[in-house]
A and B are shown apart, each in its own frame.
Chain A
């Protein structure tokens, strides 16, 4: 059914927001995260949530796209895509092709998927906990982890489809804006690598096998489980998965360099005949372990993260009617992910919208929020804390985030206190340190000149 909404919900993964997900109001009982290290070296995080007979398991490894070689941009994602495309015969069990696997998972009423983000290589299993079904789902997932088939023919086909989709995307101004922005903000850093026909062409199934074996290693595995299961059950599941990948060993991974700061202002205008100009403004932000994480998180809510009530929405959309969607976010990862401001507007008003957006950022960086704005942000974040953890899915995201970023196990329990402690001065200081409005990149695709 076609639906139109008052405010566009961005589906893009926003690590800063995710990182903020979770925690309870101070008075509430702590969220019981059980944590232990499995004999294989895997670190396990369990939240028992017994009321629905289902289980979510997420496995995370240091094998995201930051591990891609420049000439093979797209390798991590391709590896994730092909990992589950077939399983070899092993231990008396027959080989299964992609369709047999699709049928097997559907027959179990379960889901198993793999994906690569900038930092993480992730595998996700969702199953009912009816004992026979769960046992079969875990066993099938373990078979796929132990003996992926890496079928050459399937890769040839999927590469063809990917390249066709990339080519189609060239017709969209947003594609060009995103690429130009990435290149300008990240330079040579792998966060900025974008796959194209050439880099996908340089990837073979042997590269995927090697990438998989190198990065999916028990010594760096993090396993998060949320659902109707106890510790003994979780331990058994982790054991099956880790046995499957144990033969990969544990090769040390080289450090990845840091994102370099920008040295000058840069405005890129790409001509494009389009119904809307695409505008992106930004620079490298901070890594997740930045000590000012909370001032930046709360500050960005006020600047451009807070739905209808942010400064950017108020100035660009509500007061001037220039855009349907205008936002800002930080994307902190293991490295300094971007600070990004985005908007789309009719081509002839792009310059006006850019002017307004830049003024909002400059003023916020210079002066910070008002006391009233900060109080409103705290009301929203603290009063609404329970909404960040009110489903198994949200708990899974939160606990995985705690594990990945090495946050304390009581992170969710202290979250509202951390928000409460942020002051106007903290936000002003943090933004002034992190953002340099006179050295940002501005990309305009399809603006009228």
Chain B
């Protein structure tokens, strides 16, 4: 996935990568043997297999339906810290040994933590799948390490936070915006965790989280590549299926209360360029036929019409300056929409004001584009254009088995079916211009708006905080 400069608004791009196997212009669905299959192992673990026999390789992912949103205050970042510690051993495996063994198989590996889920993934030659499963099953069931390992790794995690967040004024601003947009929802906390929570985190915090959430019925193994689904099922039953079943603890709803009026923050930082982000609370797609899901589909089209291709509306009016008497408003402008997630979703409009243009002017210009659609609607040509792009994307995405596994895992995290991608594409194709106009009218009032402005303040360069002190760490 293309990494945009902030994580909250990479989602619209991902949409191209979402969805199942709808062919170009109604091409035939894939033959039965290459369709994804889903099984439940005897201990409650889910197995999803997508055969794709183009090359003798396989993507193997283990997803756990637990992410930063399942944390509580004071231990933010623990889901991600656990992800790091999962590489630190089992009773039979020393720290680092997992990675050495994956490498010996010829495998590439990594893991990631999001608000909704944690996933561990490898790509290996298809002939090494069984060995890979054994390694992953062992660490999923028996993660174990000494306190000393944690003491070093938490320092690595703080460096990760410094590198991705502290060192980037824009990342810090979006972190602050997120904390303002959400009040009760656990989405308000950063995935990596607040620095003081990382400072205070203990090895036991991590072990408790592992014990609580890493149960077979809260996990799915997703495999895509050169495999036979029935054989993989038997293999997974043998290797993953014998992990003892445990109940998944209940989850508290922690619903976000309705917003009643605009919120705003100014974030001052050592920067030259300002940045303004407008965040609107909007419905998400649940996969059903309810009105909110219908609106979610239309919001997806709206996002693409604003910013889905080179020279789309936002770029044209704000960046090229065809909007206001030829004056350029912004150096860049974008729209994004979350579409689905375990928590509430946002529609965001973001602009970097051009030199000499105020953030308020840029914000007004962003909203003008939505208002214009609310007033005038969109053309059939625009509607067709974004649909055409999505349908082509459905073909291009077949080039990567890893992306296919990632997509199937993402749907499982949301509690959705294997055919979600196909259903999503087919629903998106039915969205009408009138629906897009209707959501542009409905969801973009001040009532649901949160605005963040990155205010350039060069004096902060000197005032930047010195390195934070921390407990002594043994040094070699």
Contact = CB atoms under 8 A, between A and B. Distances in A.
Given A2-B8, A7-B110, A320 B475 contact: yes
Given A53-B395, A102-B311, A275-B162, A157 B106 contact: no
Interface string B388-431: 11011101101111000000000000000000000000000000
A106 B169 contact: no
Contact of A4 (B168, B192, B332, B395): B192
Interface in B148-199: 151-160, 162-164, 166-169, 190-192
A91 interface: no
Interface string A162-197: 001101101111100000000000000000000000
A124 interface: no
B111 interface: yes
Contact of A173 (B25, B96, B157, B167): B167
B16 to A, nearest CB: 11
A8 B163 CA distance: 10
A383 B128 contact: yes
A157 B83 CA distance: 45
B87 A383 contact: no
A371 B354 CA distance: 57
Interface in B281-340: 308-312, 316, 319-321, 328, 331-332, 338
B25 A130 contact: yes
A370 to B, nearest CB: 14
B389 A106 contact: yes
Given A102-B310, A106-B389, A323-B159, A307 B108 contact: yes
A145 B125 CA distance: 41
A109 B389 contact: yes
B464 A274 contact: yes
Contact of A1 (B83, B309, B341): B341
Given A99-B311, A384-B106, A168 B155 contact: no
Contacts of B125: 383-384, 386-387
B110 A9 contact: yes
B473 interface: yes
Contact of A321 (B11, B152, B331): B152
A354 to B, nearest CB: 14
Interface stretch (B38-46, B234-242, B267-275): B267-275
Nearest to A384: B106
Chain A CB count within 10 A is highest, among B112, B190, B308, for B112
A5 interface: yes
Nearest to B11: A1
A398 interface: no
A105 B311 CA distance: 11
A393 B399 contact: yes
A168 B355 CA distance: 11
A3 B272 contact: no
B96 A1 contact: no
A309 B11 contact: no
Contacts of B57: 386-387, 390
A253 interface: no
Q: How large is the interface on B (under 10, 10 to 19, 20 to 34, 35 or more residues)?
A: 35 or more
Chain A CB count within 10 A is highest, among B111, B167, B384, for B167
B331 A391 contact: no
B467 A448 contact: yes
A204 interface: no
B371 to A, nearest CB: 21
A8 B84 CA distance: 12
Contacts of A240: none
B438 interface: no
Interface in A282-302: none
Nearest to B153: A321
Contacts of B475: 320, 352
A52 B328 contact: no
Contacts of B228: none
Contacts of A391: 55, 399-401
A101 to B, nearest CB: 8
Nearest to B7: A2
B113 interface: yes
A324 B160 contact: yes
Contacts of B233: none
A103 B96 CA distance: 50
Interface string A393-421: 10000000000000000000000000000
Contacts of A174: 167
A244 interface: no
Given A309-B96, A386-B57, A387-B106, A126 B167 contact: no
Interface stretch (A65-73, A207-215, A311-319): A311-319
B116 A1 contact: yes
B202 to A, nearest CB: 16
A107 B385 contact: yes
A306 to B, nearest CB: 7
B328 A157 contact: yes
Given A1-B7, A99-B311, A322 B155 contact: yes
Nearest to B387: A109
A81 to B, nearest CB: 12
B404 to A, nearest CB: 11
Interface stretch (A258-266, A328-336, A342-350, A427-435): A342-350
B105 interface: yes
Interface in A3-49: 3-9, 11
A4 B388 contact: no
Contacts of B107: 380, 383-384, 387
Contacts of B465: 275
Contacts of B25: 130
B54 interface: yes
Given A164-B272, A384-B125, A314 B96 contact: yes
A98 B14 CA distance: 25
Contact of B464 (A167, A172, A273): A273
A5 B112 contact: yes
Chain A CB count within 10 A is highest, among B320, B391, B463, B465, for B320
Contacts of B168: 172
Given A106-B385, A346-B467, A384 B108 contact: yes
A389 interface: yes
A325 interface: yes
B17 to A, nearest CB: 12
Contacts of A9: 110
A51 interface: yes
A392 interface: yes
A321 B310 contact: no
A276 interface: yes
Contact of A324 (B95, B159, B328): B159
A126 B111 contact: no
Interface in B352-366: 354-355
Contacts of B154: 321
B10 interface: yes
B104 interface: yes
A331 B145 CA distance: 38
B467 A128 contact: no
Given A4-B113, A106-B309, A382-B106, A171 B270 contact: yes
A167 to B, nearest CB: 5
B115 interface: yes
Contact of B7 (A3, A103, A386): A3
A7 B86 CA distance: 13
A54 B159 contact: no
Given A1-B7, A171-B272, A276-B159, 18 more contacts: A2-B191, A4-B160, A6-B84, A8-B160, A9-B110, A126-B396, A157-B319, A165-B273, A168-B272, A273-B463, A275-B166, A307-B99, A308-B96, A308-B103, A325-B159, A379-B105, A384-B124, A391-B400
22 contacts: A51-B54, A52-B399, A54-B396, A98-B310, A99-B320, A106-B386, A109-B388, A130-B24, A161-B332, A275-B162, A275-B465, A275-B467, A321-B154, A322-B155, A324-B162, A348-B467, A381-B106, A384-B124, A386-B56, A387-B107, A390-B54, A393-B400
Please give me the 6 A-B residue pairs with the lowest Cβ-Cβ distance, nearest first: A383-B106, A109-B392, A384-B106, A102-B311, A321-B155, A390-B55
